[in-house]
Amino acid sequence: MREDIEFDAEGVPLRGWLYLPDGAATPLPTVVMAHGFSAVKEMYLDSFAEVFAGAGLGVLVFDNRNFGASGGEPRQEIDPWAQVRDYRHAITWARTRPELDGDRIGVWGSSYSGGHVLVLGAIDKRVKCVVAQVPLVSGFRNIQRLVRQDFVAGNRAMFDEDRAARYVGKAPAMIPVVDPDPMAVSSLPTPDSWAWFSETGRTRAPAWRNEVTLRTVELLMEYEPGTYVERISPTPLLMVVAAGDHLTPFDLALDAYRRALEPKRLVLLGGGHFDAYVDDFAASSTAARDWFVEHLAAGPPR
């Protein structure tokens, strides 16, 4: 049902899993999916993929460049636009597989990659269906919520120092993804971020590393996927949001959903950001599965 795969992304090998439902007629409608900020595929993406495959969908799961099993340098650096391009490389590769129907491809993303799929739905019309789970919609506004404003000038000075150091060949400066002290310097300074990453890293993905490059945070501040949301239509959009989400704030996601054009659907989870993977997993995965089946599985295969 699952095989290890590798494909080329402009010279960078990206690695992951391909799920092919047992006994299903091919070519299959297919979901392409990758994880959010610094996370690797073992951090519950297999659970979502199994639900989708159980409904007769092919599923391509891959680690983002510079993380997990995938190649790429510098390690632990997140460039959101490179990750968007890598989704597009994944779609291109999926269209070469005879078991997969290149005309029926959907994309799923969560948190940071939830923002990526908003962009993809707008710019890549090979995508026929979008599911954005607890998505980032504005890097700048997110940082405004998460970082004390009296820290901003100091952070910008750190970015400039890091740029100068990298220019002369020094190693990138690093910053923790999470920290048990919400007042400490980290990329995701919320208590639920620490709880989920530390526990999930320990139990499901021991190779996950609690660090990203400092430039990762600067790139986050510059990333505005919500500006693309009006351009997704007529591609169907499902947005899954969490009422208790403090990491990618609930109100920002609702504002993006209001600006999106039809066809669209909103699913509201009762918990926080990370409950979409655990306590609210049945609701989040079922809603995504049903959306993909509705919009990808109709009609005979090619």
- In the chain, the domains with their CATH numbers are 2-139+225-296 (3.40.50.1820)
Residue 299 backbone zone (phi > 0: left; psi -120 to 50: alpha; other: beta): left
Residue 38 backbone zone (phi > 0: left; psi -120 to 50: alpha; other: beta): left
Position 299 scores a pLDDT of 47
Q: Which of 150-159, 166-175, 225-234, 267-276 has the lowest mean pLDDT?
A: 150-159
The model's pLDDT over 247-290, given as tens digits with 9 standing for 90+, comes to: 999 999 999 999 999 999 999 999 999 999 999 999 999 999 99
Position 301 scores a pLDDT of 38
Position 300 scores a pLDDT of 40
Confidence bin at 145 (pLDDT 50/70/90): confident
Position 15 scores a pLDDT of 98
Rounded Cα distance between 227 and 173, Å, is 30
Query: Residues with Cβ < 8 Å from 59, sequence gap 6 or more?
Result: 17, 18, 19, 30, 31, 33, 49, 52, 53
The model's pLDDT over 61-110, given as tens digits with 9 standing for 90+, comes to: 999 999 999 999 999 999 999 999 999 999 999 999 999 999 999 999 99
Instruction: Answer with the residue of higher pLDDT: 189 or 301.
Output: 189
H-assigned helices in the chain: 45-54, 80-94, 112-123, 139-146, 152-167, 191-203, 214-221, 250-259, 281-296
Confidence bin at 185 (pLDDT 50/70/90): confident
**pTM metric for this prediction:** 0.96
Strands 28-33 and 100-110: parallel
Give the mean pLDDT of 112-131: 98
Residue 302 has pLDDT above 60, yes or no: no
Residue 272: DSSP 8-state: -
